[in-house]
């Protein structure tokens, strides 16, 4: 009688396990897809702001009795520390994404163990790094657009319109990238909890 | 024979479970403590920058043949959008922390289920919000300290020294707060994984 019960329990467990494996595989493929998207978005954000450059000739009046002098001015990401941080953070996030993608595909047969834990924690760090980079770039971009009369910082986006628009695009793309990393962690947390 | 085996397995499982309960309790108390720290740090950061204010009388030369006019100027957090975002983000994080602390203490007897999942995901969102707020405030604070010749934004921290120093303190405290939320997620992820 007890042996039978044990067998029945075992059968149920096996079925449960088979169902679990199917779900696990689905979660893994979804994870791989989101990771690829995150990688590409971070890479795109780094490239958009990294290559963003605008040169203009601006007339500057030094002495009111003389005609204005034409000065060539250029906008580049590395003129502002926040933009440099943004490009570096997105480059790091996309490189990290590529390494994890290769590791995940290479280890697809093995059990999710310490590596899976490490990946969740590193994903979390990427979310924090990308979010801070987005915050920094958005804050400086906003100042460029609006200026600030309290600290007497004039807006510069009326001069560098194209540069500023590409900053907005880069921040938007990077924001989607950091959201993808958030989704990856949510997926991992939910899939682990489901097994209980 | 098989019955004995079943009993032995049951005994081991019970021991394992008892050990698990002890570990779980330890993890829960550590979690509660870190959550309290996170709450207090976010609250402190919001209060430090929220109450930060410095007034100064600055001599401004309008016409070179006349003596400079003395103009009173004030620095406050809501003069810069990045600082407003910082104060709001930290206020939200500390309020959220207080709600979760109350919920966790109230539900300490019940099993960790959907609520635990929801808390991990909300903690993750807090990390992203706090990190972006830190990035924004740090970027603007850096510009205030150093200025930027490319966009002709003059530094203002030579005038508002005390205000700027408190901005640095607030960003540092908020950074520790966001690290506490990161630790909470790491703790949750590791404790869930340990059970397998």
A193 touches chain B (CB under 8 A): yes
A70 vs B135, which has greater pLDDT? B135
A39-59: b (≥16 Cβ within 10 Å) or e: bbbbbbbbbbbbebebeeeee
Which two structure tokens, joined as six digits, stand for A3?
């042996």
A54's enclosing H/E stretch is strand A53-60
| Interface subset of B 90-119, CB within 8 angstroms of A | 116-117
pLDDT in tens, B165-188: 999 999 999 999 999 999 999 999
pLDDT of residue A107: 81
User: DSSP 3-state assignment of B102?
Assistant: helix
Q: Which residues share a beta bridge with B60? A: B69
d(CA A21, CA A137): 43
Q: Do B80 and A138 touch (CB under 8 A)?
A: no
Name the average pLDDT for chain B: 86
Maximum mean pLDDT: which of A29-33, A54-58, A125-129, A192-196 = A125-129
Q: Do A136 and B131 touch (CB under 8 A)?
A: no
pLDDT of residue A69: 83
pLDDT of residue B91: 97
d(CA B115, CA B103): 9
Q: Which long-range contacts does B121-125 make (Cβ < 8 Å, 24+ apart)? A: B121/A186, B121/A189, B122/B96, B123/B181, B123/B184, B123/B185, B123/B188, B124/A124, B124/A127, B124/A182, B124/A185, B124/A186, B124/B185, B125/A182
Q: Do A142 and B116 touch (CB under 8 A)?
A: no
Q: How far is B155 from chain A (nearest CA, A)?
A: 8
pLDDT, mean of residues B121-137: 97
Mutate to test the interface with B, among A135, A148, A160, A184 (most CBs of B within 10 A): A135
Q: Do B117 and A189 touch (CB under 8 A)?
A: yes
A178 touches chain B (CB under 8 A): yes
| Interface subset of B 50-79, CB within 8 angstroms of A | 75, 79
Which two structure tokens, joined as six digits, stand for A177?
């990238």
Nearest partner of B38 among B30, B49, B26, judged by Cα: B30
Least confident of A123-137, B23-37, B128-142: B23-37
First to last CA, chain A: 28
Q: How far is A95 from chain B (nearest CA, A)?
A: 20
| Interface subset of A 6-35, CB within 8 angstroms of B | 6
d(CA B149, CA B14): 69
Residue in chain B closest to A155 (alpha carbons) equals: B151
Q: How far is B130 from chain A (nearest CA, A)?
A: 8
Handedness of CA A153, A154, A160, A164 (dihedral sign): positive
pLDDT, mean of residues B1-17: 60
Maximum mean pLDDT: which of A181-185, B9-13, B68-72, B160-164 = A181-185
Confidence of residue B196 (pLDDT cuts 50, 70, 90): very low
Q: Structure pTM?
A: 0.84
pLDDT, mean of residues A83-88: 97
Name every chain B residue with its beta carbon within 8 A of the beta carbon of A196.
Answer: 195
pLDDT at A160 over 80: yes
d(CA A81, CA B143): 9
Q: What's the DSSP call for residue B67?
A: P
Least confident of A17-31, A124-138, B45-59: A17-31
Domain-wise residue ranges, chain A: 20-194
Of all residues in chain A, what percent carry a pLDDT higher than 70?
86
- Nearest by CB to B135, from A3, A134, A185: name it: A134
Name every chain B residue with its beta carbon within 8 A of the beta carbon of A132.
Answer: 131-132, 134-135, 138
Name the average pLDDT for chain A: 86
pLDDT of residue A16: 66
pLDDT in tens, A3-49: 555 555 556 667 666 666 677 777 778 889 999 999 999 999 999 99
Q: How far is A102 from chain B (nearest CA, A)?
A: 23
Q: How far is A126 from chain B (nearest CA, A)?
A: 10
Of all residues in chain A, what percent carry a pLDDT higher than 90?
53
Name every chain A residue with its beta carbon within 8 A of the beta carbon of B150.
Answer: 75, 79-80
Measure CA B30 to chain center.
Answer: 18
Least confident of B5-9, B31-35, B89-93, B151-155: B5-9
pLDDT of residue B119: 93
pLDDT of residue A110: 63
Measure CA B132 to chain center.
Answer: 10
Beta carbons of A90 and A132 less than 8 angstroms apart: no
């Amino acid at each position: 009688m007890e042996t039978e019960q044990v067998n029945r329990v075992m059968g149920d467990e096996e079925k449960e396990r088979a169902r679990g494996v199917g779900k696990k595989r689905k979660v893994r493929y979804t994870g791989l897809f989101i990771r690829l998207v995150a990688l590409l978005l971070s890479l795109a954000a780094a490239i958009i702001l990294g290559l963003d450059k605008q040169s203009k000739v601006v007339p500057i009046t030094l002495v009111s009795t003389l005609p204005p002098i034409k000065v060539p001015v250029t906008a580049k990401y590395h003129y502002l520390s926040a933009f440099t941080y943004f490009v570096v953070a997105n480059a790091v996030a996309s490189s990290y994404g590529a390494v994890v993608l290769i590791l995940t595909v290479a280890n697809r047969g093995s059990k999710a163990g310490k590596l899976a834990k490490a990946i969740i924690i590193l994903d979390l760090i990427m979310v924090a790094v990308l979010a801070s980079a987005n915050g920094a770039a958005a804050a400086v971009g906003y100042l460029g657009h609006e200026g600030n009369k309290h600290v007497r910082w004039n807006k510069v986006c009326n001069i560098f319109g194209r540069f500023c628009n590409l900053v907005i695009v880069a921040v938007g793309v990077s924001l989607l990238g950091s959201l993808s990393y958030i989704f990856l962690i949510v997926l991992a947390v939910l899939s682990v909890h489901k097994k209980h």
